[in-house]
Structures are given as C-alpha cells and as structure tokens.
Amino acid sequence: MFTPLTRPDLGAASSTAQIYCRPTCFVDRPHELDDDCLRVADTMVWFAAWHVSLRDDAVVKSAIVPVPEFGEWIAAMPDALAQAATAQRAATIRPRGTLQLGERILRLNEPQLMGILNVTPDSFSDGGKTVDTAAAVDAGFAMASAGAAIVDVGGESTRPGAPLVWEGDEIQRIEGVVAGLARGGVAVSIDTRKAAVMEAALAAGAGIVNDISALRYDDRAMEVVVKAGCPVVLMHAPSAKSDPHEGGGYDHVLFDVYDMLAERVAACTAAGINPAKIIVDPGLGFGKGVADNLALINGLALFHTLGCPVLFGASRKRMIGALDNEAPADQRLGGTVALHYQAATQGAQLLRVHDIAENRQALRVWRGLRDAALTV
C-alpha cells in the first residue's frame, strides 16, 4: 500500500532510516524542459522527477519530487540521508563512458546486446544445442554478426535444480569456445562463479567476468578479477551457495536487492576493482517470484544510483510463461522483446538475450523514436 512521504517525515526519520532516489517521469524531449530534467548517465534517457522513498524500520513512504525541487528535499533530510541522496543523484548522472574489452571499445550511451551462448547439456531454454565446440563458435559468430556487442559463454546451467558442475568439466566446455571467438575478434564474457574457470577463460581471451554470485561463491574469485583488471558483472542472487535460488524472502524486493548490490559494489571497490569496471544486474528469476520480478523491472532505474552500468536479463524467463498461459521457453520471444524494450526506456546499458536479431530490431526502433523526439 502506498504511504505518502512529506518533507517533515524526513526530519523525523530515525538514525537507521534509508533513502532511495529513483529516476522517474521519463521524457523524450528534454530540450523543451530546459534545466527541469536530468540525464541518466550518458544514455539517451532523461527524467523529470525523482521517486523518493524513505525506508524506516518496516515502513516505506514515497513521494514524486520534480527535479528542480530535489535540493529542497535534500535540505530537509538529516545529514546521513542528505549525503546518501546527494551521492545517488551524482552517481545517476555521472557518465559511464566506455568498457575496454581487449582491443574492443564498447560505448554505453545506448543499449548494447549481450548474446547468451550456453555450452551446456541442460540449460533451461537451449541446453544441448551448442555443446560441440565448433558449433558453439559458429553460433557465437552468428550472434556477433546479428548485432551482439558481447557474447556471454557459460558452461554450467544455473536453472533451479541444476546439478553443480566440476570446474574441470566447465573449463573443458568453455575454453575452446572462448578462444575461438576471441581469435575471431568477438568480445567475450565468461558466465561463471568459479575462480579456476575465470582464469582459464581470461587466459583464452575473455574480457569480462559475469558472476551470478557477485564474487561470493568462490573465495578466490575477487582475487582473480582484481589481478586481471577486467570488467565484472555483479548479479544479485539470494544465496552464494551451490543453489543460487535458495532463500529469496524479501521485506521489499527492490530495496533488498539494491542494498545487496550496493554492498557488493563497495566490497569490490575496497578490494581494488576499478569502480568504472563494475556492472550490476538485479538477477531476475534467481530466488524471485513473478511479483518480485515485476517490481524489479518497474523499479529498474533505481540501480543507476549505484553509479554502474546496468545489465538486464529477462530472456525467455519463466515469468513470461507465467504471464502468458504457461508458454514454454521457446515461445517467449514476444515477452522477451517487450521486457528488454522496457529496460531500454529506463536506461539499461546492457541487455542479455538469446535472440539477437529480434532484440536488435527492437532497439533500432527504440533508437529511431528517441532520435525523432530530439530532432522533429
């Protein structure tokens, strides 16, 4: 239930209260608003208001605050909340620049596609299709040709109930695929939570580590990423154990996921990872029900206040079937495109998908609409 927030509420907040300032009221013609809107990083997304939420014990109060009035609201906050809100504003509008992936430079001023290449026999939607190294390399090249800026190679299924794969088997599955794609000039990320697999993939030419455990599963993972100096994706999952879907009880899913990712960004920065190389992912479907996933999608813009590029991945996920008469995984393309288009409208910089051509087309339409709004 919505509880309104007023400025006097801020002054009465307890010492343990938390503030969350989410960009909202997105606009496509910012030039008509002069200084009354702000830009999300260096994307093509502008917003005219903040959705300010005060979380104090179990109570959440919220208000829509126009951009020009935000400073007055900050002035009404206790020092700790004011510092947090000021930092969130600065982080939101700070340019993300580019990601250096070997000899490739990935610009983050518009959404980029990350292609999903599972070299597994049991992934939920494409298991067994590319277990052969040559077939997997060909599939990766096809993704790059269709418009994938990055190909994300994974050798272990993380679907609910999937068995744990020994790291030696995982390396055997991914090493030749990563090497083949990297030699062909494709930017490759490695989807793994195991340090030994990260090391093997990076040595074979991978440029990004994509870890569903946010570098919590393997005690050596942080060390590997720090030493490599590579970009890293920190994804939210409720558990860092073998089953990443364990747990998942949330008081407020958007804020709970945000808090965990904020803690991981801080821990990685303290360990020596360049904050400009950290990417965050709210982890749709990992220990989250349909209602949880929908709340995260609707509130996705909050994650920009962490100051990191946002990766969004809803491709073929179960929530689409749950919303459409239990459609099987291979019949969820329409829902996939719709969800990733929604993420683009909220400024997500990276979209992780199976079907490159269809999502690329949707993004070209999205870009055309943005260009037209700015020029016509």
Intra-chain end-to-end CA distance of the chain, in Å: 40
Catalytic residues: 317, 352
Angle at 296 (CA atoms; ends 75, 57), nearest 5 degrees: 50
pLDDT at residue 124 is higher than 70: no
pLDDT at residue 127 is higher than 60: no
Extract the tokens encoding 169. 């088997």
Is residue 111 within a helix (H) or strand (E), and if so which, with residue range?
Answer: none
Q: How many CB atoms lie within 10 A of CB 249?
A: 8
Tens-place pLDDT, residues 172-224: 999 999 999 999 999 999 999 999 999 999 999 999 999 999 999 999 999 99
Tens-place pLDDT, residues 68-81: 999 999 999 999 99
In this prediction, residue 269 carries a pLDDT of 98
In this prediction, residue 159 carries a pLDDT of 80
pLDDT at residue 294 is higher than 70: yes
**Whole-angstrom distance, CA of residue 24 vs CA of residue 40:** 10
**Whole-angstrom distance, CA of residue 192 vs CA of residue 148:** 19
DSSP-assigned beta bridge partners for residue 53: 20, 62
Closest CA to 7 of 57, 77, 58, 60: 77
Largest Cα span, the chain: 64
**Whole-angstrom distance, CA of residue 64 vs CA of residue 85:** 14
**Whole-angstrom distance, CA of residue 87 vs CA of residue 130:** 44
In this prediction, residue 131 carries a pLDDT of 65
How high is the mean pLDDT of the chain?
94
Closest CA to 213 of 229, 228, 198, 230: 198
Give one DSSP letter per residue of 51-69, joined into a string: EEEEEETTEEEEEEEEGGG
DSSP 325: T
> Confidence class of residue 1 from pLDDT cuts 50, 70 and 90?
low
Q: Three-class SS of residue 4?
A: strand
pTM of the model: 0.95
pLDDT at residue 34 is higher than 50: yes
pLDDT at residue 122 is higher than 80: no
Extract the tokens encoding 55. 């979380």
The whole-angstrom distance between residue 97's C-alpha and the CA centroid of its chain comes to: 16
Q: Three-class SS of residue 241?
A: coil
Is residue 99 within a helix (H) or strand (E), and if so which, with residue range?
Answer: strand 98-101
Q: Three-class SS of residue 210?
A: strand
Tens-place pLDDT, residues 301-333: 999 999 999 999 999 999 999 999 999 999 999
CB within 8 Å of 309: residues ≥ 6 apart:
41, 96, 99, 108, 279, 280, 349, 350
List domains and CATH numbers for the chain.
7-93 (no CATH), 98-375 (3.20.20.20)
Contact status, residue 349 vs residue 310, Cβ threshold 8 Å: yes
Q: Three-class SS of residue 213?
A: coil
